[in-house]
Every structure is written in structure tokens, then in C-alpha cells.
Amino acid sequence: MAIPEFELIRRYFSSAWQQAPVPELCLGPGDDAAILQMSATDQLLVSVDTLNVGVHFLPDSPPERLAQRCLRVNISDLAAMGGEPVGFTLALSLPDVDSEWLAGFSQGLAAAAREAKCPLIGGDTTHGPLSMTIQVLGKVPAGQAIRRDGAQVGDLIYVTGTLGDAAAALQVMQAGSAQLSSENVDILLRAFYEPTMRIEAAMQLRGLATAGLDLSDGLISDLRHILTASSARSRSNLGAEVNVSALPVSSAFKQVFPEFQQQVERAVSGGDDYQLCVTVPAEKARQAESLMADLSVPFSRIGEIVTGEGIQFHNEQNEAVLIHTQGYQHFADSV
């Protein structure tokens, strides 16, 4: 029987931490990172992700760019919670020792680490299929982490940056790019391999955003996580209305997917965006928009949290738009 990733976690692991509780643990499995109380003023964020060849990246991916992607997508989890990176560990599985490949990989890893001010503090290497697991550590002022479970009716939904560029990049890598300029190809590949780490943006949104996460599996899947977590915490049914005409997409993305319906489908379900998706009370929206403008971070209002269930999509004329895809889910097609 197929079990999607988050149902697997809920069924088998979400309560495991409760079996051996420790007073320092403030938040266990289910969010972008765990939260542990380290002092009266600071909390520790801990997150881990694995990237496997053939699942998260193509076998011929350039090692320097692959390393950039590997660290950036992990740090994105800390950023989503308003955290400041402290350090990371790396577990690297290699099919063989290729000195040229390792030199490129280490250079890319170091470049991303310097940008995020997040040093490598330990790890492990082993022989096997190409795979990398990174655990990131960060800190946040006590009680100020942006969790998934705080959205309320009337909150406005925002995303940073543009959506769908990584999905367009994958299309280009698999099918070619004859119709694109070299500049647009570079824009898309950079979005896939070097997603922007929204560290400072999320830190500025602490105290303003009621809920948030980074968009890894696609807007439709990840926004649903906010609705599920917030509904459970508030013991009410929360839904969302999203204006597809407000979805921010790049001109390069539009060249790859020229049809409007195709643009909408890929923008909400393509995944690998690693942009922030946050909910903000209407009375704090102007302040949040101003802070993002000061950082030159594109910040698009795309919808609103409402009473109900699920996500309803509509266009500028308030006409319903049917979405056929549901976003990426690990194990959804497994038996």
C-alpha cells in the first residue's frame, strides 16, 4: 500500500520522541526543524535532509553545483523557521574516490558555507551509491521560531521570489533548451543548483509571520502542511484561497511553459523552489512588505487563510481554476 512521506512520519515516527521526553525538547518531528531549549534566551534548531542520485539530482550533475544545492536546501529549513545557521555535518556516500569530483564538490560546499556563515563541523564518509546527508544546526531567540502551526483565519499568504524555476530547469536538463537564451538557461539552472537562502528575510519576519515553511515539494503540498498543522493546533478547519494570477513566475519559466494552465500547474506543484511561504495577519502585512522591500526580496501576496478545508484556486476574475497535480510526495507511488 502506498504511504506518502508525511503520513509515514505521522504513523511511525511523530510520537516516538514522546516516549523518551526531555525537558529541553520544545518541538519534535513534523516541522522544518526540531527546537530545543538551550538557555533562557536561545533555542537550538536541528534539521537533516538526504539527497540521493536519481531522486534529487541527475547522475551527471556538476559536483561544485551539486554541493551548493545540497547545503543550500538544508539551510533553507533553518531559514524557514527564522533561524541563524551555526554549523553543519555531512555524511557522504561515494561509489568511488574521484579526486577531481571531490575537489569540485568541496569547493562548492565551501562557497555555500561561507555565504551562509555556516561551517562544516563534522561528518562521515562511506562507500556506496552517491548520496549526501546534511544535518544543520541553528539558533533562534526563545519563542520566536516561525512554526507551521500558527496560521489563523484572515491571515494573508505570501511567498518570496519566483515559483517554478527549478521545475523549468529540470525540464531543460532533460529535454534541452533550444528555445531559450543562454541567459535564461543560466537563470533556471542557478535556481535549481543554487537556490537563494532566505536567512535574513525570515529573521526579519519573526514576530510578524504566524506560520511558515520553505517550498520544497511545491506550493500545493507545502501550503497543505501549514493548513494541517494549524488546523490541528487550533482545533478548527482551516483552508486557503489562492489567486493563480498572483503567482510570481519568471520570464524564463514562461518560455519553458508557454501555456497559462501549464504555468499554473508547474508553479504550484513543481517543487524545489526553496522560497519562503508565510502567513501574515492583515494588520501586519504592510510592515512585512516594507521589511522585505528594504532587503530587495520579492514578496508576493498570493492568497488568504479561510475557514474550510483544502486549497481553492481562482483567477483574477474570481473564477475557479482546477489544478490537476498535487505536488511531490516521496513514497506516494510505492507499494
What is the pLDDT at residue 59?
A: 83
| pLDDT for position 325 | 74
Q: By the 8 A CB rule, do 305 and 154 touch?
A: yes
Those residues with Cβ within 8 angstroms of residue 283's Cβ, 6 or more apart along the chain or in another chain? none
User: What is the pLDDT, as a whole number, of residue 176?
Assistant: 81
The CA dihedral of 16, 20, 25, 31, to the nearest 10 degrees, is: 0
Instruction: Tell me the pLDDT of the chain (335 aa) as tens digits.
Output: 566 766 776 777 766 555 566 778 887 777 678 999 999 999 999 999 999 988 878 788 899 999 999 999 999 999 999 999 999 999 999 999 999 999 999 999 999 999 999 999 999 999 999 999 999 999 999 999 999 999 999 999 999 999 999 999 999 988 887 688 999 999 999 999 999 999 999 999 999 999 999 999 999 999 999 999 999 999 999 999 999 999 999 999 999 999 999 999 999 999 999 999 999 999 999 999 999 999 999 999 999 999 999 999 999 999 999 998 765 454 344 33
Q: Which of 177, 212, 214 is nearest to 288 (CA)?
A: 212
Question: 85 has which bridge partners?
Answer: 138
The per-residue pLDDT for 22 is: 77
To the question of domain 156-314 being in CATH 3.90.650.10, the answer is yes
CB-CB contact of 187 with 249 (8 Å):
no
Q: Report domain extents, the chain.
A: 5-141, 156-314
Q: What is the pLDDT, as a whole number, of residue 2?
A: 62
* Residue 225 is labelled as binding a ligand: no
155 annotated among ligand-binding-site residues: no
Query: Is 60 assigned to a binding site?
Result: no
For residue 186, say whether it is annotated as part of any ligand binding site. Answer: no
Query: Is residue 98 part of an annotated ligand binding site?
Result: no
Task: Establish whether 124 is an annotated binding residue.
Answer: yes
CATH C-level class of 5-141: alpha beta
Check whether 224 is labelled as a binding-site residue: no
Tell me: is residue 333 an annotated ligand-binding position.
Answer: no
- 47 among the known binding-site residues? yes
- DSSP-derived letter for residue 149 is S
Q: What is the pTM of this model?
A: 0.91
CA–CA dist 264, 245 (Å, integer): 9
Q: What Å distances lie between residue 233 and 32, 99, 319, CA to CA?
A: 16, 50, 31
Cα gap 223→265, rounded to integer Å: 15
Residue 191 DSSP SS3: helix
Question: Is 143 labeled as ligand-binding?
Answer: no
182 is in an annotated binding site: no
Taking the C-alpha atoms of residue 304 and residue 221, their distance in angstroms, rounded to an integer, is 16
Q: Supply the pLDDT for residue 18.
A: 56
